[in-house]
A and B are shown apart, each in its own frame.
Chain A
Amino acid sequence: MKFNVQRNQLMESVQDVMKAISSKTAIPILSGMKIDVTEEGVKLTGSDSDISIESFVPAEEEGIVYVENIEPGSIVLQAKYFPEIVRKLPEQTVEIESDEQFNVTIRSGSAEFNLNGQDAQEYPQLPKLHTENSFELSVDLLKDLIRQTVFAVSTSETRPILTGVNMSIKDQKLQFVATDSHRLAGRSIPLEDSANKELFSNIVIPGKSLNELNKILDDTQEKIEISVTENQILFRTKHLNFLSRLLDGNYPETSRLIPEQSKTNVMIDSKELLHSIDRASLLAKESRNNVVKLTTKENTSIEISSNSPEVGKVFEEVTADTIEGEELKISFSAKYMMDALKAINSEKVNISFTGAMRPFIIKPAEHEDEILQLILPVRTY
Chain B
Amino acid sequence: MSSRFPTKGRIIFHVDMNSFYASVEAAYNPDLKGKPLAIAGNPEVRKGIIVTSSYEARAKGVKTTMPLWQAKDLCPELIVMRPNFDRYREASKNMFEMLAEVTPYIQPVSIDEGYMDITECADLGTPFEIAENIQKRIKNELDLPCSIGIAPNKFLAKMASDMKKPMGITVLRKRELATKLWPLPIDEMYGVGGKTAEKLRNINIETIGDLAKYDVYHLKSILGINGERLQNRANGYDPRPVDPDAVSLFKSIGNSQTLPYDTTDEREITKLLRSLSEKVAERMKRKTVVSENIQVMIRYHDRKTITRSHQLHDYVEFSEDIFNIASELFFSNWNGKAIRLLGVTAQQLTEKEEMTKQLDLFTYENEAKNENLYKVVDDLSEKYGKDVFKKSVTHEGNHSVSTSFQKDFLDDFKRD
Chain A, 364-380, contact with B by CB distance < 8 Å: what is the 0/1 string? 00000000001011111
What's the least CB distance linking A275 to chain B, in Å? 23
CB pair B361 A257 closer than 8 Å: yes
Compute how far the CA of A381 lies from the CA of B315 in the bound complex, rounded to whole angstroms. 12
The reply to whether the CB of B352 lies closer than 8 angstroms to some CB of chain A is: yes
Compute how far the CA of A329 lies from the CA of B374 in the bound complex, rounded to whole angstroms. 12
Q: Which residues in A have their C-beta under 8 angstroms from that of B368? A: 355, 357-358
Query: From B372, which residue of chain A is reached at the shortest CB distance?
Result: A355
What's the least CB distance linking B400 to chain A, in Å? 25
Q: Which residues in A have their C-beta under 8 angstroms from that of B355? A: 380-381
CB pair A378 B360 closer than 8 Å: no
What's the least CB distance linking B148 to chain A, in Å? 32
Secondary structure dominating the interface of B = mixed
The reply to whether the CB of A184 lies closer than 8 angstroms to some CB of chain B is: yes
What's the least CB distance linking B350 to chain A, in Å? 8
What's the least CB distance linking B246 to chain A, in Å? 14
Q: Which residues in B have their C-beta under 8 angstroms from that of A376? A: 358-361, 364
CB pair A288 B354 closer than 8 Å: yes
Q: Which residues in B have their C-beta under 8 angstroms from that of A179? A: 361
Q: Which residues in A have their C-beta under 8 angstroms from that of B384? A: none
Residue among B354, B359, B375 making CB contact with A309, cutoff 8 Å: B354
Residues 352 to 390 of chain B near chain A (Cβ within 8 Å): 352-362, 364, 367-368, 370-371, 374-375, 378
Query: From A377, which residue of chain B is reached at the shortest CB distance?
Result: B359
The reply to whether the CB of A201 lies closer than 8 angstroms to some CB of chain B is: no
The reply to whether the CB of A356 lies closer than 8 angstroms to some CB of chain B is: yes
CB pair B353 A381 closer than 8 Å: yes
The reply to whether the CB of A281 lies closer than 8 angstroms to some CB of chain B is: no
Q: Which residues in A have their C-beta under 8 angstroms from that of B375? A: 356
A181 with B371, Cβ < 8 A, contacts A288-B354, A381-B353 known: no
CB pair B371 A182 closer than 8 Å: no
Compute how far the CA of A72 lies from the CA of B112 in the bound complex, rounded to whole angstroms. 87
Query: From B348, which residue of chain A is reached at the shortest CB distance?
Result: A287
CB pair A378 B361 closer than 8 Å: no
Residue among A289, A355, A359 making CB contact with B371, cutoff 8 Å: A355
CB pair A288 B356 closer than 8 Å: yes
Chain B, 318-340, contact with A by CB distance < 8 Å: what is the 0/1 string? 00000000000000000000000
What's the least CB distance linking A163 to chain B, in Å? 15
CB pair A379 B353 closer than 8 Å: no
What's the least CB distance linking B256 to chain A, in Å? 28
Q: Which residues in A have their C-beta under 8 angstroms from that of B359? A: 182, 357, 359, 376-379
Residues 276 to 325 of chain A near chain B (Cβ within 8 Å): 288-289, 291, 309
Query: From B366, which residue of chain A is reached at the shortest CB distance?
Result: A357
Q: Which residues in B have their C-beta under 8 angstroms from that of A333? A: 358
Q: Which residues in A have their C-beta under 8 angstroms from that of B362? A: 181, 252, 257
What's the least CB distance linking A108 to chain B, in Å? 54
Q: Which residues in B have their C-beta under 8 angstroms from that of A379? A: 356-357, 359, 367, 374
The reply to whether the CB of A214 lies closer than 8 angstroms to some CB of chain B is: no
The reply to whether the CB of A331 lies closer than 8 angstroms to some CB of chain B is: yes
What's the least CB distance linking A296 to chain B, in Å? 14
Residue among B351, B353, B361, B364 making CB contact with A357, cutoff 8 Å: B364
CB pair A182 B353 closer than 8 Å: no
The reply to whether the CB of A9 lies closer than 8 angstroms to some CB of chain B is: no
Contact sample, A vs B, 13 pairs, CB 8 Å cutoff: A182-B361, A257-B361, A289-B356, A333-B358, A356-B371, A356-B375, A357-B370, A357-B371, A357-B374, A358-B364, A376-B364, A378-B356, A379-B367
Interface residues of B (CB under 8 A from A): 351-362, 364, 367-368, 370-371, 374-375, 378
* Across the A-B interface, the 10 shortest Cβ-Cβ residue pairs: A376-B359, A357-B368, A357-B371, A357-B367, A379-B357, A381-B355, A289-B358, A181-B361, A288-B356, A289-B356
Other 7 A-B pairs with CB < 8 A, given A182-B359, A378-B359? A181-B362, A184-B361, A252-B362, A356-B374, A357-B374, A359-B359, A379-B367
